[in-house]
Amino acid sequence: MFEEKAEKEDSSLSEESLQLVVFELSGEEFGVDIMQVSEIIPISKITRIPQAPECVKGLINLRGKIIVVIDLNRRLGFSSRENDSLSRIIIVGVRDTTIGMIVNSVNGIFKLPFSSIEPTPDMIKSKINSEYLTGVGKAGKRLLILLNLARVLGEEEIDELNQLSSSSLSPSLSSSSPMEEFPEENT
């Protein structure tokens, strides 16, 4: 009986609010649904990929899994900036694909009532492709631009990123020592 009550409380909370991972890009705060985020990690060594799309920074080895990392600033049309101690890679799941997205900083986890979410204003739509956005959340004086990760990367791009991560290790490398044992290159 206690479990049923707890489940009802949890479901009523999820119906009334959206839990977001909030991060910064080019001086603006963005949010994505926490259910799409598997983890947030510091910037580690990123192995560049020859002839990759402009927004693709390269590959990382995350506990034996090769993950493609994109620069979310570049993807959204902002100018890219040098990574610093606040920069993070947000590991997300988009259409059965795991992708890393570099952001300038992560500001935390935020619960936003659905009643505080409004359609994206035209002024913001002109700066960012409107299909990338799900709306704008108001939290006091803060405005959070809510991203739709499934649309930030199109289906063709996700397929291409899948191919990059699956073909990035040749059979000879995958059977030899782990990637961390190779000397690091300067990025």
pLDDT > 80? residue 15:
no
Mean pLDDT in residue range 132-154? 83
Instruction: Report CA Rg, the chain.
Output: 18
Instruction: Determine the 3-state secondary structure of 65 from DSSP.
Output: strand
Residues ≥6 apart with Cβ < 8 Å to 103:
23, 24, 25, 30, 72, 73, 87, 88, 89, 90
pLDDT of residue 128: 56
Q: Is 61:184 a contact under the CB 8 Å cutoff? A: no
- Top-ranked range on mean pLDDT: pick from 39-43, 154-158, 161-165, 169-173: 39-43
Looking at residue 5, its amino acid is K
The mean pLDDT of the chain is 77
pLDDT of residue 172: 38
pLDDT in tens, 56-85: 899 999 999 999 999 999 988 888 888 899
